[in-house]
């Protein structure tokens, strides 16, 4: 008898006690049960944000990937929904892998598959149970209301990989072609036959029939990306305007597996990088071969931007997986049978070729100011009273450089089990050595971008911490399993500290 995979997942979710785990975040997207990884199909529908994601509801006992689904009206309180894509078809029975969404309107809907405003694209994964050979195909799901989801009867849209590439051919990103109205493009991460990574572009007028345009190339990059790792995952292109010049740039964000640049950073098993250029056909021009990491933290991978209707412009929002490969050994899998989370959505902009990332759920103007602001603080640990008793909070502090000497920062947790986040001149240092999870890196020191202001903003949610420095010039994400019985945060001062501004807010489970 054929398994009812939808019912089995719903039963696992219904039986889950994950939300009772004291490490379970309050205001991030987390799985209702099992394992979460890449964000998928992020989109905005009016005043509601929808986050789909890779969900393995039977983890760790069985590896079978669905698309999970959560929604929010404020980017802080997330509601679970039933899984949206079930891996129960002949072309995806080994998993419904990553992809994205596009939101249509007006005449676009009239010409769309199933006349549906929401089009979700994903990679169907199929492995032969005898030979273990993989078939990767690009597939479509449509929805009229984001409650019911239907697989396109003509799936798969792209049944196999193109000649010259291996079966590692996945993670479609579909977007409107801003230069050719009425046409769409699909970007796919691939591995060449010589086992180097790349991305390919397809084109379509109807979102069903796709024609291969060619491989994404980088003229003028000096060959920097010609043999850049062995596989490119989750590639995405987004157009951003430079804050200083007003010029539009096409920013490629992707995860090149297997790169080892000889410079600071790139400590994680798999990195996530970006480069800025101008997309002309299949050429990303003007990058100069320059690239940077998106996030300098221990846990960050596979980010994606939210899709929206063309008539509803707004800030570009990005969310990533606060995890990475081989990191399923976190304490929560034992205490609550769940693992991993998504980052808080971030507003993206560009300045002098560098990404600026700011929390999308920014602190309100009437947020409380810590009593420590305005004081001259001496060496020691100083309790931030406004956050005492809370394990989910947001704190922003700005230092006066003329009256500050030595390092300063925050201690989250107890004296015995904590994470320290400190600024010392132009270096950010994060130390989680004494926490309950440091297997994949305990200390990270990061040189700040030139001109980075002494502004430290930290979002902490039980076991997940995001650090923003210099008004978003640098971001670092980490899992922070500190002492469960600890709360609040303490300000660490090495010599002298004067704070000129600050704000706080706290969160409770919804």
What does the buried/exposed string (b/e) look like for 58-75 if buried means 16 or more CB atoms within 10 Å of the residue's CB? bbeeeebbbbbbbbbeeb
Distance CA 342, CA 320 (A): 6
Set 20, 21, 23, 38: catalytic member: 38
- Per DSSP, the residues of 50-108 read EEEEEEETTTTT----EEEEEEESSSSS-EEEEEEE---STTTTT-B----EEE--THH
- Token code pair at residue 227: 């043999």
Whether the ω angle into residue 60 lies within 30 degrees of 0, i.e. cis, is yes
Q: What is the DSSP letter of 119?
A: E
CA torsion, points 90, 91, 93, 97, in degrees to nearest 10?
A: -160
In 10 A of CB 35, how many CB atoms?
22
Q: Is 412 helix (H, G, I), strand (E, B) or coil?
A: strand
Residue 222's DSSP bridge partners are none
Whether the ω angle into residue 2 lies within 30 degrees of 0, i.e. cis, is no
Distance CA 389, CA 369 (A): 17
Taking CA atoms, 29 is separated from 26, 131, 148, 270, 483, in Å, by 9, 37, 21, 22, 22
In 10 A of CB 416, how many CB atoms?
9
Distance CA 481, CA 463 (A): 5
- Is the separation of the CB atoms in 384 and 375 below 8 Å? no
Instruction: Say whether 38 is catalytic.
Output: yes
In 10 A of CB 285, how many CB atoms?
16
- Among residues 310, 312, 317, 306, the alpha carbon closest in space to that of 46 is found at 312
- Token code pair at residue 203: 């084109």
Distance CA 5, CA 476 (A): 37
- Is the separation of the CB atoms in 317 and 348 below 8 Å? yes
Which element (helix H / strand E) includes 6? helix 5-14
Positions marked active-site: 38
């Amino acid at each position: 008898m054929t398994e009812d995979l939808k019912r089995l997942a719903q039963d696992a979710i219904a039986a889950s006690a994950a939300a009772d785990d004291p490490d379970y975040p309050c205001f991030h997207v987390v799985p209702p049960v099992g394992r979460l990884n890449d964000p998928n199909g992020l989109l905005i529908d009016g005043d509601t944000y929808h986050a789909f994601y890779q969900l393995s509801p039977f983890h760790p006992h069985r590896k079978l990937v669905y698309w999970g689904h959560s929604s929010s009206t404020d980017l802080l309180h997330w509601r679970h929904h039933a899984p949206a894509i079930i891996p129960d078809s002949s072309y995806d029975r080994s998993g419904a892998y990553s992809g994205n969404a596009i939101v249509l309107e007006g005449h676009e809907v009239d010409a769309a598959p199933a006349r549906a405003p929401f089009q979700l694209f994903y990679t169907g994964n199929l492995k032969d149970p005898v030979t273990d050979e993989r078939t990767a195909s690009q597939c479509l799901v449509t929805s009229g209301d984001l409650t019911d989801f239907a697989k396109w009867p003509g799936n798969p849209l792209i049944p196999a990989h193109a000649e010259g590439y291996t079966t590692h051919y996945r993670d479609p990103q579909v977007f409107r072609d801003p230069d050719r109205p009425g046409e769409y493009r699909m970007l796919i991460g691939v591995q060449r036959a010589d086992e180097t990574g790349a991305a390919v572009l397809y084109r379509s007028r109807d979102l069903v029939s796709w024609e291969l345009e060619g491989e994404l190339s980088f003229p003028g990059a000096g060959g920097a990306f010609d043999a850049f790792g062995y596989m490119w995952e989750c590639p995405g292109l987004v157009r951003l305007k430079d804050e200083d010049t007003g010029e539009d740039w096409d920013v490629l964000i992707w995860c090149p597996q297997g790169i080892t640049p000889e410079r600071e950073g790139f400590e994680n098993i798999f990195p996530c990088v970006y480069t800025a250029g101008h997309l002309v056909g299949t050429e990303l021009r003007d990058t100069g071969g320059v690239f940077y990491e998106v996030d300098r933290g221990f846990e960050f991978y596979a980010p994606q931007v939210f899709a929206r209707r063309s008539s509803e412009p707004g800030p570009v929002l990005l969310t990533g997986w606060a995890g990475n490969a081989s990191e399923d050994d976190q304490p929560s899998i034992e205490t609550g049978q769940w693992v991993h989370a998504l980052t808080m959505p971030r507003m993206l902009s560009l300045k002098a070729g560098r990404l600026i990332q700011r929390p999308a759920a920014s602190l309100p103007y009437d947020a409380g100011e810590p009593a420590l602001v305005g004081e001259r603080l001496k060496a020691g640990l100083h309790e931030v009273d406004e956050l005492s008793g809370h394990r989910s909070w947001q704190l922003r502090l700005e230092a006066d450089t003329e009256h500050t000497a030595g390092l300063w920062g925050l201690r989250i947790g107890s004296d015995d089990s904590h994470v320290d986040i400190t600024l010392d001149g132009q270096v950010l240092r994060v130390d989680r050595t004494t926490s309950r999870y440091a297997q994949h890196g305990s200390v990270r020191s990061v040189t700040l971008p030139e001109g980075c202001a002494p502004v430290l903003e930290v979002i902490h949610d039980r076991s997940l911490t995001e650090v923003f420095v210099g008004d978003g010039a640098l971001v670092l994400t980490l899992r922070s399993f500190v002492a469960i019985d600890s709360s609040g945060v303490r300000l660490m001062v090495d010599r002298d500290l004067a704070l000129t501004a600050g704000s706080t807010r706290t969160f409770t489970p919804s």
